[in-house]
Amino acid sequence: MNKVYNKGIGFLVCTIVLFSCKSGKNDVTPVKTDTTATTKITPQTDPVIAKSAGYFLDDWMSKTFTAPAYANIAQPSANATATINVDYSNVITKVSKYLFGNNTNPYMSQIVTEPVLLNNIKALSPNILRFPGGSISDGYFWNGKVPADAPATQHDSNGNPVAAGYWVGTNTDSWTLSLDNYYSALQQTNSTGIITINYAYARYGTSAHPDQTAAHLAANWVRYDKGRTKYWEIGNENDGPWEGGWRIDLTQNKDGQPETITGALYGKHFKVFADSMRKAATEVGSQIKIGAQLVGTDPVNAWNAVDKTWNSGLFASAGDYADFYIVHDYFTGSDNETAATILNSPVKESKAIMDWMTTTTTQGGVPLKPIALTEWNIFATGSKQMVSNVAGIHATMVLGELLKNQFGMASRWDLANGWSNGDDHGMFNQGDEPDGIAKWNPRPAFYYMYYFQKYFGDKMVSSSVQNSTDVLSYASSFTSGEAGVVIVNKGTATQTVSINIKNFAAGNRYYYYTFTGGTDNGEFSRKVYINGNGPDGAAGGPSNYSKLNASSSTIQGGIKVSVPPMSVVFLVADGKK
């Protein structure tokens, strides 16, 4: 997509991260009221890496947590209304650093000329940035030359001619992002790239062999790249009628392609592209991974007939030629949906995608490959859902569910977009937001994703919730010995949550950050408060977000926190020294 809509859901999310240091002993103090009791710890055993995560975990890194400065806060005296049970020894998956990615686009500025934006991206540490992303990629000519066989008009899904509107990678105007400055932004933000090449040119090109011509252009990009980029996508959402090349003008086509695209045709072309690009990579001494597009959920009831046979056609013609599989998901519809509807989507939708990936590859007779969710967000519109605190809560839940379902990579759409009365997928204000909001001011989702990555460990461990259907949990461990839990409260009532951690040596103190929305704009506040600290203006969060004191209590007697309605708490606790 070129334009994505964010929508927030009012509910409470808490993240708790607990810390411990390895004692080298079998007897430990459990996190219970009776702190004199002892129990034997079962050590962690790493599971086999899931096929759906695969080589995206090759770059896995251990994490060490440094306890923050804090203000002492008494534990809540109320009885617990929900209990989270964590098994520190039961590792679900290592954490792929590529799950925290985002999308750049060619209409968001040159990035490296915008120090405020660049520093915000550095702080966010997305680790992977997609380019050029969205539908633009299917009209994008990286070398700055629109070829003579690219028609001036293309056909929309109804067969009507429309201006092609091509983009080039050499444009250095301030409003756009050139290819070279994308590469520079990757280097300056310590990020890896994932590049989406122009597949649609293989459809609408008017040469004798448009598939070979387009593949050659993509291969030359690999040569120009010279090993700077490992991950490559063949096209963007090409099964969709909104995409260039979905329908072509048969009077201009010279190689007998059908008017409307099919999965089988895409699979046939995919092999041509992959062969050319892999040959180019060999020539420049680089190793690349190439992804193919799949329909992400069961299309049995799809309104788009192409979707119904896309995956089966692709597998029939390309087999297991792809290195990874690409899906997109925006989790909600485009109606004016409520916070509750939005916040109910991450659990069911993330599982539905991975369940379908297993089913569709089995049906296609191919092995499951690493899954990359290269675009995700929400589509809900009409109440500024996309720029709201609820969108931040939703982002927190999505990250937790992607980990639980063992995705390999994900990139949120996108860093900057367009205000559109609040129907704006952009994580940062591009300068068109009203109410005096500063250019590049972060929206609430930024703060949630920043804290999630900082306070979630390097491995996800199992957790479950008792006595509440509004509270969710995502638990983690740090190699340095700490434990972590993300608590989500989707409800409208405050929850007093106790945390019991099995097979973990608890220390003396826990630290936490509570994220809540403001009172503006109903349940879709444009503000986020962290431990009571909010933005200076009408939207965003605290400017000193990286230096805020945590709240802290002693662990003696257990771990317990109060979780407000529709909020997030990030909590850390010392391990046994």
In order of their start, the domains of the chain are 12-96+460-575 (2.60.40.1180), 98-455 (3.20.20.80)
Q: State yes or no: pLDDT of 22 exceeds 80.
A: no
3-state secondary structure 177-206: CCHHHHHHHHHHCCCEEEEEECCCHHHHCC
Q: How far is 534 from 515, CA to CA, in rounded Å? A: 10
Contacts within 8 Å (CB) and 24+ apart, 164-167: 164/139, 164/204, 164/244, 165/139, 166/139, 166/140, 166/141, 167/106, 167/132, 167/136, 167/139, 167/140, 167/141
Tell which residue, 240, 41, 32, has the closest CA to residue 134.
240
Check residue 1 and give its pLDDT: 52
Confidence of residue 316 (pLDDT cuts 50, 70, 90): very high
In residues, how long is the chain? 577
Q: What is the pLDDT of residues 240-263, one digit of tens each?
A: 999 999 999 999 999 999 999 999
Q: How far is 307 from 301, CA to CA, in rounded Å? A: 10
And the tokens for 533?
Answer: 């600290």
What is the mean predicted confidence (pLDDT) over 436-461?
97
Q: b/e map of 426-436 (b: 16 or more CB within 10 Å)?
A: bbbbbeebeee
And the tokens for 303?
Answer: 């309104």
**How far apart, in Å, do the first and last CA atoms of the chain sit?**
50
Q: Is 494 exposed, middle or buried (0-12, 13-18, 19+ CB in 10 A)?
A: middle
**For residue 414, cis peptide bond before it (omega within 30 degrees of 0):** yes
Tell which residue, 435, 466, 443, has the closest CA to residue 525.
443
And the tokens for 103?
Answer: 């999308």
Instruction: Quote the crossing angle between the two packed helices 179-188 and 115-124, to the nearest 10°.
Output: 50
User: For the ranges 126-130, 194-198, 507-511, which has the lowest average pLDDT?
Assistant: 507-511
What is the rounded radius of gyration, in angstroms, for the C-alpha atoms of the chain?
24
User: For the ranges 11-15, 182-186, 400-404, which has the lowest average pLDDT?
Assistant: 11-15
Check residue 29 and give its pLDDT: 35
Q: What is the pLDDT of residues 470-488, one digit of tens each?
A: 999 999 999 999 999 999 9
Q: Which residue has the tokens 């002993």?
A: 25
Q: What is the pLDDT of residues 148-191, one digit of tens each?
A: 999 999 988 888 899 999 999 999 999 999 999 999 999 999 99
Q: b/e map of 446-464 (b: 16 or more CB within 10 Å)?
A: bbbbbbbbbbbbbbbbbbe
Q: What is the pLDDT of residues 211-251, one digit of tens each?
A: 999 999 999 999 999 999 999 999 999 999 999 999 999 99
Residue 269 identity? H
Q: DSSP label at 125?
A: -
And the tokens for 190?
Answer: 């310590």
Q: How far is 482 from 459, CA to CA, in rounded Å? A: 11
CB 374 within 8 A of CB 411: yes
3-state secondary structure 68-113: CCEEECCCCCCCCCEEEEEEEEEEEEECCHHHHEEECCCCCCCCCC
Q: How far is 166 from 454, CA to CA, in rounded Å? A: 39
Confidence of residue 363 (pLDDT cuts 50, 70, 90): very high
What is the mean predicted confidence (pLDDT) over 390-412?
98
Q: What is the pLDDT of residues 535-556, one digit of tens each?
A: 999 999 999 999 999 999 999 8
Q: How far is 401 from 349, CA to CA, in rounded Å? A: 9
Q: What is the pLDDT of residues 23-71, one digit of tens each?
A: 333 333 334 433 334 578 999 999 999 999 999 999 999 999 999 999 9
Q: DSSP label at 387?
A: G
Q: Which residue has the tokens 């940062």?
A: 428
How many Å separate Cα 354 from the centre of its chain? 15
SS3 content of the chain, % helix, strand, coil (to 5): 25, 25, 50
Q: How far is 236 from 195, CA to CA, in rounded Å? A: 10
Q: DSSP label at 469?
A: S
And the tokens for 556?
Answer: 């003696």
And the tokens for 238?
Answer: 């090409």
Q: What is the pLDDT of residues 87-131, one digit of tens each?
A: 999 999 999 999 999 999 999 999 999 999 999 999 999 999 999
Return all residues near 376 (Cβ < 8 A) that are at least 6 apart: 328, 329, 330, 331, 398, 410, 411, 412, 413
Residue 179 identity? L
Q: How far is 64 from 180, CA to CA, in rounded Å? A: 34
Residue 382 identity? G
**For residue 132, cis peptide bond before it (omega within 30 degrees of 0):** yes
Q: How far is 106 from 138, CA to CA, in rounded Å? A: 13
Check residue 577 and give its pLDDT: 67
pTM of the model: 0.93
Q: How far is 547 from 308, CA to CA, in rounded Å? A: 50
Q: DSSP label at 161?
A: E
Tell which residue, 291, 146, 144, has the closest CA to residue 224.
144
